[in-house]
Amino acid sequence: MFTSHAVEHHTQYRKVFHDDPMPKGEDRGIRLNFWEGLVEGLPVAIILFWFSPVGAGMFMLVVALHHTIWNQIHLEMHQPTGRFFANWWLYKFCARHHFLHHKYPDKNFNVAFPIGDFICGTIAKPSEKDWEAMRAEGIA
Ligand SMILES: [Zn+2]
Ligand SMILES: [Zn+2]
């Protein structure tokens, strides 16, 4: 997981935020494995189930939703094809958030739910040059 994300994904998209669509399987670390996410979430859901079966179900639903949203928006960020949400304000907000993560890898860790970075104090502050680059990307 570390190699796929921190080494391959960051190396590939450090200088250029997106590229033309690549053949399936040639992108690196751009997708989360949906089923792996469910398997990893299961131990937490089992513990939660003791306290609240509904809570356990909700937790698994959020994991599934997170992975689905994450995969769709992260793909659009790095391999834009003009998906239906590509012009939404919220999408562009997340894209700018993630753009800055690729510039400042120790900031803006959350792709789908940036609120986590506001809570943890890991928000990147864009410079004027960053704003310029984000405008060039069409996300600002
Ligand atoms: Zn990325
Ligand atoms: Zn990263």
Q: What is the pLDDT of residues 23-68, one digit of tens each?
A: 666 666 788 899 999 999 999 999 999 999 999 999 999 999 999 9
Cα 51 from Cα 17, distance rounded (Å)? 43
C-alpha 62 to ligand 2 mean position (Å): 21
- Tell me the ligand closest to 14's alpha carbon: 1
pTM for the model: 0.84
Measured between alpha carbons, how far is 136 from 114 in angstroms, rounded to an integer? Answer: 22
- Which ligand places an atom closest to the C-alpha of 112? 1
Domain boundaries along the sequence of the chain:
2-137
Over residues 70-121, the pLDDT tens digits come to: 999 999 998 888 999 999 999 999 999 999 999 999 999 999 999 999 999 9
Asked if 137 contacts 99 with a C-beta cutoff of 8 angstroms, the reply is yes
- Sequence letter at residue 113: F
Furthest-apart CA atoms within the chain: distance in Å: 51
Distance 54 CA to ligand 1 centre (A): 33
- Establish how many alpha carbons lie within 13 A of residue 140's alpha carbon, considering only the half-sphere containing its beta carbon: 16
Selection from 65, 79, 98, 102 nearest residue 25 by Cα: 79
> Which one of the ligands is nearest to 108 CA?
2
